[in-house]
Structure 1
Amino acid sequence: MQDRWWEKKAEEIQQFVDTKNYKQFFSALKIVYGSLKPTTTLLLSSDGDTLIKDKKGISNKWKEHFSQLLNRPSSVDQRAFDQIPQNRTIEQLDVPPSIEEVQKVIKQMSAGKAPGKDRIPTEVYKVLNGKVLQAFHIVLTSIWEEEDMPPELRDAFIIALYKNKGAQVACDNYRGISLLSTAGKILTCVILNRLLSSVSEQNLPESQCGFRPDCSTIDMVFMVRQMQEKCLEQNLSLYIVFIDLTKAFDTVNRDALWVILSKLGCPAKFVKLIQLFHVDMTGEVLSGGETSDRFNISNGVKQGCVLAPVLFNLFFTQVLRHAVMDLDLGVYIKYRLDGSLFDLRRLTAKTKTTERLILEALFADDCALMAHQENHLQTIVDRFSTTTKLFGLTISLSKTEVLFQPAAGRPMNQPCITINGTQLSNVNTFKYLGSTIANDGSLDHEINARIQKAKGLRTGSL
């Protein structure tokens, strides 16, 4: 009886996930685990010696942490822009949004989301019609035409979410999420739709699957596993380095981002509108029922804003293009598209094939670089390291790791891949986008990890 209840509940929860009904998904989880009781997380002081326990002290610590993180000085070498071609300016992006465009955006927005400082939820805007909708449309178009952003639509409440890695008392192990005004979200969604249709899809590489329509982590996990499988089939070695960028979203140089958007064809007003959501922005941290003092935010793209992933992807694409320019190293694959998938004769044919260079697998800032030879991977890493510095980004040497899958019958000689003289760690398994990649190309580690998670669910220990 108990097993049947668990099976039925698991099927129900899975159905909510499959249909992207996340509100019902979390409601079902609450039935299984019970409601979470709000707690105040203790934090380490700046000297790392004492625990801060009082709410006011914790609030001040969060303010100090995010104020430092989101105001880190960064600079971009002017040479970084020289290799970016100037695209044709897309003048229609400057046209103020129509009332139909605003209505479409409101319909697209999900209900049940946390509102910003004004406390007005999405549900209020979903029932706007008639003269009230017209008045709201006039407000948005006046912002667009006059290029004057009310602080209420720009500023953010910031909440800290634990990354489930590292000590919970360390601020660095949390991700700051911005809670923004719903009215501001509506305007950013108008901008987002235009970016996606006119700029993003025309400039992002096929290897970038982060926050794009009809793409997910599944695509990149499948791609990496296919690389492993094909290398084993062809008796080739495979070297993969999993790059970790330090606070990637929070350290994007904004001045560089505006230049890149202009280079990609965004007209001046359109870029200015995106700037208005970032320039002179302030934040307040919500923690344990306390609100911190306000502080300025001068760097990065704000996580929690719908624009942030797309803006980061466009920025990071230029980093990658600069790094691999004129580089012919990586993993070459040959394929053909005609005939049946199971026609073995055609699969082994030498003619009518297409050759493709695979060098990277991307999901936003999660980056995997690969090659058949150790010296080739070192060259790729050197180029990537130099370019990230050029664009003001930083590679975390302690979290960047190398996985080596040897060809059959060849010894497991661990590679020596370095960045600025520091050797990167070699690993036998790596947790890539939630899936365990092993250096023998098998799924054993991944299956065992899934079994342990399932056991944890049954015992309530997760």
Structure 2
Amino acid sequence: DKIPNEYFKNLPMNWQLYLLSLFNKIMESETIPKSWSKSIVSMLHKKGSRDDPENYRPISLLNSILKVFTKILLERLKSWDDYCNILPESQSGFRKGRSCLDNLFIVNSLCQIILEYREKDFFIIFVDYKKAFDSVNHHLLWRKLNNFGVSGKIIRLLQSLYSAAKIQVSCNGDLTDEISVTNGVLQGEELSPYLFSLFISDLKDFFTERGAVLIQLDSKTEVLGCEYADDKVIFADSVTDVTNKLHILSEYADSNFLEINTNKTKIIHFHKGKEKHIRSFYYKDKIIESVPSLMYLGVLFSNSGLFYKAAQLAHSKALSAAGGVLNICRKSKVASWESRSKLNDALVTSCLLYGVQIWGLRYLEKIEHAHLNLFKKMFSLNRSTPLWLIRMEFNITSSSYKVLKLTLKWITKLLLMGDTRIPKLCFLRLRYYHEKKPSLKYNWYTQVVNILKQINEDSLLSDLDPKNFKQKTVLVLNTYRQYLLNKDYESLYSSKYNLQYLKFFDPIPDLQQYLQTDTPFAVIKLWAQIRLSSGYYIKFTINDLCYLISPKHKCTVCNRDAFEDLFHLFVSCPIYDDVRRHFIPFIRNIPPNDFPNIFRSPDSFTCKQIYYYVCNIMKIRAFIMNE
């Protein structure tokens, strides 16, 4: 209809009443206008041959007014489901208060419990439905909705919508003839994923009726698997169990007119110790591949049950995102330190810390390396620059603090869940096993306790009242932040990496003075290189040219038997006297003890003059040394 969503969002009250009246008439007549059921589909190429239709992803454009109406139907169905509990507890997709973290936590918790405390292997079948949303049989969907107790009026409205549903494919600016939608749910509006979730909500009952053995979580709770919309995983604890569940899955798919994509359906065999040979698994007559690792809801799971590979992948993604930030800054000529810092948080930190409260508690150091790598690249710093020095210089909060904050927020959410919620039951079970036998390697709860012990706050987990826990986390986080800051100050006072930095560093402002000056980023970058240089290695990067200086070696430019350190470069080397007199006369003849003060709290003028000075003397030095 070419009416943008913003039009409906900004309707005046009288037009909202007209819209309400229209929707009420549709509800009474149980007939949706046929024009609302039309959609235009654009095909986006994913990868592979452009001649293969399977390599395209359809993107549907629906009438905005239909989206508003189906949103109303969705809210009514959700209210009904909240009362009747039709959707299984294991389904987290498109449900209020639930997210991918629920499923990630369940999978990780069960893996740890079975491997460590039940001393058994653990299998997960990662099920991939072939064209899941496009395969829903309409007649079967109406029958299931009726059996669940959905209002007949809503079912008839949906039948009216789908009986008239037609699509046109957009190709090179032209539209194909209309094609009737005889299977599948519409795409491009919020109700469809919910309808699919209802369609497969009887999966657990189907399995139990056929004698499938579920995974015992506690004395009252058994788990078949978990879902996030059409992302389905099924748990098993033996080869026989996997084989049986694949057979039942085939029966379920056939009876519901669904097709399993055997090329994308995978199995992970979780185990301790060395690799084990497992015979092939079959779905009907096709082999299902067993893989050592697999990406599930954005997190890489490995058959060891550990997350070392996930940490490596997150590190790699953060490096890639850091490259993107640098390109944006370079092309957009972003000079502001604040803008660069915000870009880092938006693109790098968010990428690095996704799901970290589940997988990252044993890999805090690796996460911190990835977190600060952008700053090393942005300022072209030495690879050996200590992480504590970067945090101090740029006033960066340690990623360890952010990980703990996300973890405690997740625990608060777990404690607020109902007593039948599987993530909460997993948490309580991990706590139970921790009290019997702590395991830093295979118990997430133990990993949390281990971090809290660093600040003597492990008693936080003794009181699981959500209100009290949330109040205490504020104090605990402040304590942890101060603990990390104190460790950095200890390094500042004890490290021999840069003995002058203690004199350069100004502890009073939140941000070092030169970072706040109104100067080009090239100037700020050079100042960072000066201040963060080591006693063994000075590196200046100017206009993509890199100049390396060793302060432990004698200056071969002047041959005055003096070490080529910062003081010699800026104050005493006679070769640079004319340049010094022109750009930085205020430094000439300055005593060695006062020299570091120049770099402590400079104004914009000083920053620029130092930059010009270094640019010129590096050219002279390179010419003399034939570099």
Superposition TM-score, scaled by structure 1 size: 0.66
- C-alpha change, 1:286 and 1:252, in structure 2 (3 Å) is same
Instruction: Answer yes or no: is the 8 Å Cα contact 1:324–1:380 preserved in 2.
Output: no
Q: Does 1:182 align with 2:64?
A: yes
- C-alpha change, 1:222 and 1:173, in structure 2 (3 Å) is farther
Aligned equivalents of 2:41, 2:5: Cα separation in 1: 18
CA deviations over 1:437-462 (Å, ceiling 9, x no partner): 10001111111111222222233499
Aligned residue runs from structure 1 range 255-334, under 5 A? 255-325=139-209, 327=211, 329-334=213-218
Q: Does 1:210 align with 2:93?
A: yes
Aligned equivalents of 2:182, 2:131: Cα separation in 1: 14
What's 2:281 paired with?
417
Q: Could you say what secondary structure the match of 1:369 adopts? A: strand
What's 2:40 paired with?
157
Q: Could you say what secondary structure the match of 1:203 adopts? A: coil
TM superposition shift of 1:168: 5.8
What's 1:398 paired with?
263
TM superposition shift of 1:299: 0.8
What's 1:439 paired with?
303
What's 1:198 paired with?
80
Aligned equivalents of 1:183, 1:358: Cα separation in 2: 40
- C-alpha change, 1:130 and 1:453, in structure 2 (3 Å) is closer
What's 1:119 paired with?
2
Q: Could you say what secondary structure the match of 2:142 adopts? A: helix
Aligned residue runs from structure 1 range 4-43, under 5 A? none
- C-alpha change, 1:328 and 1:148, in structure 2 (3 Å) is closer
The runs of 4+ residues in structure 1 deviating greater than 4 Å are 164-169
Letter in 1 for 2:245: I
What's 1:356 paired with?
221
TM superposition shift of 1:268: 2.2
What's 2:290 paired with?
426
- C-alpha change, 1:165 and 1:365, in structure 2 (3 Å) is farther
Letter in 1 for 2:67: K
Aligned equivalents of 1:403, 1:258: Cα separation in 2: 36
Aligned equivalents of 1:325, 1:165: Cα separation in 2: 41
TM superposition shift of 1:323: 2.8
Moved more, 281-290 or 422-431: 281-290
Q: Could you say what secondary structure the match of 2:125 adopts? A: strand
What's 1:373 paired with?
238
- Provide the identity percentage: 28
Instruction: Answer yes or no: is the 8 Å Cα contact 1:208–1:364 preserved in 2.
Output: yes
Letter in 1 for 2:251: T
- C-alpha change, 1:138 and 1:240, in structure 2 (3 Å) is same
- C-alpha change, 1:389 and 1:328, in structure 2 (3 Å) is closer
TM superposition shift of 1:130: 4.1
Aligned residue runs from structure 1 range 75-86, under 5 A? none
Letter in 2 for 1:370: F
Aligned equivalents of 1:166, 1:287: Cα separation in 2: 19
Aligned equivalents of 1:377, 1:255: Cα separation in 2: 31
Instruction: Answer yes or no: is the 8 Å Cα contact 1:204–1:313 preserved in 2.
Output: yes
Letter in 2 for 1:315: F
The root-mean-square deviation of aligned C-alpha atoms, in Å, is 2.2
Q: Could you say what secondary structure the match of 2:196 adopts? A: helix
Aligned equivalents of 2:48, 2:298: Cα separation in 1: 16
- C-alpha change, 1:245 and 1:166, in structure 2 (3 Å) is farther
TM superposition shift of 1:167: 5.0
Instruction: Answer yes or no: is the 8 Å Cα contact 1:320–1:384 preserved in 2.
Output: no
Q: Does 1:454 align with 2:338?
A: no
Q: Does 1:385 align with 2:250?
A: yes
Unaligned runs of 5+ in 2: 328-346, 348-627
- C-alpha change, 1:236 and 1:268, in structure 2 (3 Å) is same
TM superposition shift of 1:176: 2.0
TM superposition shift of 1:410: 7.2
CA deviations over 1:306-364 (Å, ceiling 9, x no partner): 11111000001124422332535132223xxxxxxxxxxxxxxxxxxx34222212111
Q: Which has the higher strand share?
A: 1
- Choose the corresponding residue for 1:237, options 89, 99, 121: 121
Instruction: Answer yes or no: is the 8 Å Cα contact 2:114–2:120 preserved in 1.
Output: yes
Aligned equivalents of 1:437, 1:307: Cα separation in 2: 31
Q: Could you say what secondary structure the match of 2:67 adopts? A: helix
CA deviations over 1:120-141 (Å, ceiling 9, x no partner): 1122222323433332222222
TM superposition shift of 1:267: 2.7
Superposition TM-score, scaled by structure 2 size: 0.49
Aligned residue runs from structure 1 range 139-158, under 5 A? 139-158=22-41
Instruction: Answer yes or no: is the 8 Å Cα contact 1:324–1:383 preserved in 2.
Output: no
Letter in 2 for 1:316: I
Q: Does 1:247 align with 2:111?
A: no
- C-alpha change, 1:409 and 1:149, in structure 2 (3 Å) is closer
Instruction: Answer yes or no: is the 8 Å Cα contact 2:210–2:248 preserved in 1.
Output: no
Letter in 2 for 1:232: L
What's 2:18 paired with?
135
TM superposition shift of 1:166: 4.9
Aligned equivalents of 1:186, 1:293: Cα separation in 2: 26
Aligned equivalents of 1:159, 1:372: Cα separation in 2: 43
Aligned equivalents of 2:59, 2:192: Cα separation in 1: 11
Instruction: Answer yes or no: is the 8 Å Cα contact 2:100–2:297 preserved in 1.
Output: yes
Q: Could you say what secondary structure the match of 1:368 adopts? A: strand
- C-alpha change, 1:174 and 1:225, in structure 2 (3 Å) is farther
TM superposition shift of 1:413: 2.0
Aligned equivalents of 1:250, 1:409: Cα separation in 2: 42
Aligned equivalents of 1:292, 1:320: Cα separation in 2: 41
TM superposition shift of 1:148: 2.6
Structure scoring higher RCO (CA < 8 A, sep ≥ 6) equals 1
Aligned equivalents of 1:250, 1:421: Cα separation in 2: 24
CA deviations over 1:351-397 (Å, ceiling 9, x no partner): xxx34222212111111111111101211111111111011001111
Instruction: Answer yes or no: is the 8 Å Cα contact 1:167–1:173 preserved in 2.
Output: yes
Aligned equivalents of 1:295, 1:224: Cα separation in 2: 41
What's 1:30 paired with?
none
CA deviations over 1:155-201 (Å, ceiling 9, x no partner): 11223345x56556643133323221121111111111110110366
The structure with the largest alpha-carbon Rg is 2
